[in-house]
Structures are given as C-alpha cells and as structure tokens.
C-alpha cells in the first residue's frame, strides 16, 4: 500500500511540475506577444535605419561573445581578426527575471529567399527558444559606437548594425515568432571589439558583449 501511495505522490509531483512548466511557457508567450504590441526602438542614424513599411515587434537583450583569431599580416606582424560571427542568448523580462527567448549563432540557411544563394559557411541565425522558428540575416550597414548617438553610445564596442533577412523558417510545429522577420537592428552594443593586446599566430580569444536586438516585420 505504501508503495502505491509513494508512486501516486511521485506522479502527482510530476503532473504539478509539468503544469508549472506549461504555465511559465504560456506566460512567456503572452509576455512576448504583449511586448510585440508595444516595441518602440530608439531613433537611429539613417545609415542603420529600417526602410519604411516595416515595424519593430520584438526586442531581445543579448549576452554573447565575438570570436577573434590571431593571424599574420602582410608586413610580417600579427593582428586579431574576427573569424566567427557573434554568438549570443537573448532574454526578455518575465516577472522580474530574465527569460530566454532567442539564441543567436551561425548556421546553414535552410530556407533562403528567392534569388539568395546562401554561403556554405552559413548565415547569422536567430532561433526562437519558444517555437524554434528561425531567421537568417546579412549585414546591410553598420556604425561605430559614438557617445553622441543615443542608440549606440558605447565607444570602443562592437558596431551597431542593420541586418536584412535572407531566409525564414517556421518551427517544426508551425511556430512563427521569427518567420516574418524582415530586418534586425543591433543597438546599444557594449564590448565585443577587437582585442588591443599583442598576439601570436593561432591564438584565439572570445570577447564578451551585450546588445539589444530589435526585430522588424512588414506592416502588411
């Protein structure tokens, strides 16, 4: 009898745990959808402005790193070179805690837009942690941080960027959080710039950075 009671207790605990996880996930979806209705990106210079007809619908606060490798120069010296796209995890605020909504990395573009020939090395990728939908994007333009630019003020940091979608894909169950993304802005960067230290050939270094990623979609 006690054995059966124990099994029932464990089963009940598991059900409660699954219910709690489902509730958190539902709240996360609700928070993201609610945030989508009130995302207002900061003003930016024309160089990295999104073209008319697109509106911001989502923002993620990123914590990541930019990779550099020390390579020989034509003058016989060495220099740090970016050898991989940034990798990051994007979060939103949920009940006062940081909740992961997107991962940022590099991958093969599995659903390129018409006329796009994706490189074998892959494109910058953002994948929803909630529904696994994805967007691949390429750099359109960038600006160096400047204290006089409120949306990109941290001098000595990695560039602020405008990126354009070159591919989108729904999640395996039809999720579409990032499926209609047209442009992405990387703003408020802090860190991630090329190391200033001397280096030896083959040496690698990951430089941490933070940034805000704003996601846009077409108005129609």
pLDDT category of residue 10 using cuts at 50, 70 and 90: low
Residue 29, pLDDT above cutoff 60: no
What does the pLDDT read at residue 44? 98
CA dist 66 and 91 (Å) reads 18
The half-sphere exposure of 115 on its side-chain side, counting CA atoms within 13 A, is 1
**Pairing, β 123-128 against β 87-94:** unpaired
What does the pLDDT read at residue 5? 56
What does the pLDDT read at residue 84? 76
What does the pLDDT read at residue 20? 34
Residue 25, pLDDT above cutoff 90: no
- The percent of residues above 70 in pLDDT, for the chain, comes to 83
3-state secondary structure of 118: coil
pTM: 0.83
- What tokens does 90 get? 């994007």
- What tokens does 132 get? 């696994």
CA dist 39 and 16 (Å) reads 34
Please give the backbone phi and psi of residue 108, each rounded to the nearest 5 degrees, phi first: -65, 135
65-69, 81-85, 103-107, 206-210: range with lowest mean pLDDT: 81-85
Report which of residues 119 and 7 the model is more confident about.
119
**Could you tell me the residue ranges of all domains in the chain?**
39-218
Mean pLDDT of 183-187: 98
**Tens of pLDDT, residues 70-115:** 999 999 999 999 987 789 999 999 888 999 999 999 999 999 999 9
**Contact call for residues 54 and 184 (beta carbons, < 8 A):** no
What does the pLDDT read at residue 57? 97
DSSP codes joined into one string, 183-195: EEEEEEEEE-PPP
């Amino acid at each position: 009898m006690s054995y059966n009671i124990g099994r029932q207790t464990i089963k009940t605990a598991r059900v409660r745990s699954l219910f709690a996880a489902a509730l958190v996930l539902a709240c996360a979806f609700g928070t993201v959808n609610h945030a989508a209705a009130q995302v207002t990106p900061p003003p930016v210079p024309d160089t990295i402005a999104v073209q008319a007809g697109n509106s911001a619908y989502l923002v993620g606060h990123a914590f990541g790193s930019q990779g550099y490798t020390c390579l020989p120069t034509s003058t016989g010296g060495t220099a740090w070179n970016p050898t991989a796209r940034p990798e990051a995890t994007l979060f939103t605020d949920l009940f006062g805690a940081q909740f992961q909504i997107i991962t940022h990395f590099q991958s093969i573009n599995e659903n390129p837009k018409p006329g796009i020939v994706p490189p074998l090395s892959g494109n910058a990728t953002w994948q929803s942690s909630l529904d696994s939908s994805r967007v691949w994007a390429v750099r359109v333009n960038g600006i160096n941080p400047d204290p006089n630019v409120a949306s990109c003020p941290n001098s000595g940091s990695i560039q602020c960027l405008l990126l354009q979608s070159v591919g989108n894909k729904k999640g395996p169950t039809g999720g579409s959080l990032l499926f209609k993304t047209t442009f992405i802005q990387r703003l408020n960067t802090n860190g991630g710039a090329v190391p200033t230290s001397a280096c030896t050939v083959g040496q690698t270094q990951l430089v941490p950075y933070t940034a805000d990623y704003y996601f846009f979609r077409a108005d129609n």
